[in-house]
Amino acid sequence: MKTLRVLALLSALLFAAPSWAAPRNRNAGLEAIPAQFTGKVTRVLDGDSLEVRYKNFLVPVQLYSIDAPELGQPFGKTAREYSRVACLGKVVTIYGERVVGKTLLAVVRVNGKGVLNELLLNEGIAWLDRPHGKSARLAKLEANARRARRGLWRDKSPVAPWEWRRKR
């Protein structure tokens, strides 16, 4: 009996992953993250998806109220590159709006540049996400970009990302 316990303990020690090998709180429970915080952008996945380091947490962030083109769409890579230049490796302030799954929907203020959500709309490389985007300011930024035919609004019939995803 004692031999079995010793063998069980030894096998648990041999086959268990050491604690230092575990990822560093990647996508840890968002309940530990305050609604507003400052962190450093570690990754830009696409035009409207970032990863932000806050203390020991890597927080997945989706820009609230906007929808940038997917990478396979026209202007998708342009939107990603714009977000990279604007905030990758930089300190940002996150204003969390709500959590969906393991992602924080947020307004992202890039120190010294402005609000990334607004910048993308103004450049014409994102759409106002109609169901969630109830801001008159954001609607005006999109309308101005459309009128000026900036970014994706140069195309004769741009396809909204939600329509593009639905067709895939």
Given a cut of 80, is residue 36 above it in pLDDT? yes
Task: Write down the pLDDT at residue 124.
Answer: 98
Question: Considering the chain, what percentage of its residues have pLDDT values greater than 70?
Answer: 81
Task: Write down the pLDDT at residue 30.
Answer: 80
CA distance readout (Å), 138 to 11, 14, 118: 58, 56, 6
Task: Write down the pLDDT at residue 77.
Answer: 97
Q: Which residues contact 86 (CB under 8 A, 6 or more apart)?
A: 110, 113, 116, 119
Given a cut of 90, is residue 140 above it in pLDDT? yes
Task: Write down the pLDDT at residue 21.
Answer: 31
| DSSP code of residue 65 | T
Measured CA to CA, the distance from residue 32 to residue 44 in angstroms comes to 22
| Nearest C-alpha neighbor of 96 from the set 46, 33, 32 | 33
What is the mean pLDDT of the segment spanning 137-143?
A: 95
Average confidence score pLDDT of the chain: 85
Contact assessment for residue 152 and residue 69, using Cβ atoms and an 8 Å cutoff: yes
Given a cut of 80, is residue 126 above it in pLDDT? yes
The structural domains of the chain, ordered by start, are 22-157 (2.40.50.90)
Q: Tens digits of per-residue pLDDT, 77-113?
A: 999 999 999 999 999 999 999 999 999 999 999 988 8
Given a cut of 60, is residue 20 above it in pLDDT? no
Q: Which residues contact 113 (CB under 8 A, 6 or more apart)?
A: 86, 87, 119
Residue burial 54-85, b: 16+ Cβ < 10 Å; e: rest = beebbbbbbbbbbbbbbeebebbebbbebbee
Given a cut of 50, is residue 123 above it in pLDDT? yes
Half-sphere exposure of 44 (CA within 13 A, CB side): 24
Among 16-30, 122-136, 151-165, the range scoring the smallest mean pLDDT is 16-30
Q: Percent helix, strand, coil in the chain (nearest 5)?
A: 40, 30, 35
Task: Write down the pLDDT at residue 132.
Answer: 65
Tokens of 44: 């830009």
